[in-house]
Amino acid sequence: MGGCKTKSRRSRWARSVVGAFCLCCLQPLACAAAEDDAFVLDDFEGGMLLWKGSAQLDSTLAKSGRSSLRWDAGPGGGFLTLETIPRDWSNCNRLSFWCHSFEATDARIMIRLPSENKNTDGIDYYHSYFLVDWTGWKKLTYDLRREFLPVREPVGWNAIDCLELRCEEWHKLQPVAGTVLQLDDFGLWQESPGDEQVVSDFERDVEFWKGLQRSKEQVKDGDSAGLWANARATPVVYNHQTIPRDWTGYTHLGLWLHS
């Protein structure tokens, strides 16, 4: 999605760089692989349903190949679980899949990666989410280290128990009638970063910013931006949950601003 199209001097996107912070010049990862070489978790082409839950294989609509997974994620949709996965994800930093939505219901879907720690009380896992705010096919790609938050003390990315999608029966999940999804081509891969590391793109992490709201009205890249609606009432905005803590080796912080 493009930025603001107005030519007014008072309403425009501007590139701002703060030299006192350290955020560009990330060292490349030792293990790099192209997205085309992704490890396939499930492409739904084997004729066998591997997921537990209320979804079904469907040959009437697919992003690639002959079939996809159809899930009625409205009330009663519960959750889906894929257990036939490799447990060690430590050499991967991206999870991606295609999702087709028939209606933009704004339903919230959780992606949960259990990593049970036997030495702690309670359940341990990583989690992220997406909002069903589109129609048609859309590719969803997640930075595992940045966009999946740990809950309690998961063992680590070398011990992922399963892949789970939830539309209800969890905190903040309210299923919405009419939310029907087609899922295809789940894959894991390693993206080699360039000279910049994304700290926050406001696609799925706006809720972790205190003082910002999710907005689709003025967006530079992607589907959403963080709206600082009233700087007088909220003079400080911050995020201490999803940003990297180690900024060693970086020399600049860059961001896009719209006024």
Concatenated DSSP letters of 153-185: ----TT----EEEESSSSTT----TT-EEEEEE
The yes-or-no verdict on residue 214 having pLDDT over 90 is: no
Last residue of a domain, one of 171, 189, 207: 189
Lowest mean pLDDT among 99-103, 146-150, 203-207: 203-207
pLDDT recorded at residue 14: 46
Sort residue 136 into left (φ over 0), alpha (ψ -120 to 50) or beta.
left
Based on the domain organization, do 147 and 88 belong to the same domain? Answer: yes
The helix (H) or strand (E) run that includes residue 146 is helix 144-147
pLDDT in tens, 168-206: 988 789 999 999 999 999 999 998 766 666 777 777 677
Last residue of a domain, one of 189, 206, 232: 189
Based on the domain organization, do 137 and 219 belong to the same domain? Answer: no
Based on the domain organization, do 80 and 183 belong to the same domain? Answer: yes
pLDDT in tens, 220-250: 888 788 888 888 888 888 776 777 767 766 7
Based on the domain organization, do 75 and 136 belong to the same domain? Answer: yes
Based on the domain organization, do 102 and 165 belong to the same domain? Answer: yes
Based on the domain organization, do 169 and 248 belong to the same domain? Answer: no
Model pTM score? 0.73
245/228 Cα distance (integer angstroms) = 23
Based on the domain organization, do 43 and 140 belong to the same domain? Answer: yes
CATH code for position 128: 2.60.120.430
* Residue 162 and residue 51 in contact, taking contact as beta carbons nearer than 8 Å: no
pLDDT recorded at residue 196: 67
Domain of residue 7, residue span: 1-28+195-259
Based on the domain organization, do 60 and 127 belong to the same domain? Answer: yes
pLDDT recorded at residue 201: 77
Q: Kindly report the number of other CB atoms within 10 A of residue 22's CB atom.
A: 14
Count: domains in the chain: 2
Based on the domain organization, do 170 and 90 belong to the same domain? Answer: yes
| Angle made by CA atoms 214, 123, 120, in degrees to the nearest 5 | 125
Based on the domain organization, do 185 and 199 belong to the same domain? Answer: no
pLDDT recorded at residue 194: 61
| Angle made by CA atoms 131, 135, 140, in degrees to the nearest 5 | 50
Based on the domain organization, do 114 and 42 belong to the same domain? Answer: yes
Last residue of a domain, one of 150, 166, 189: 189
Based on the domain organization, do 55 and 76 belong to the same domain? Answer: yes
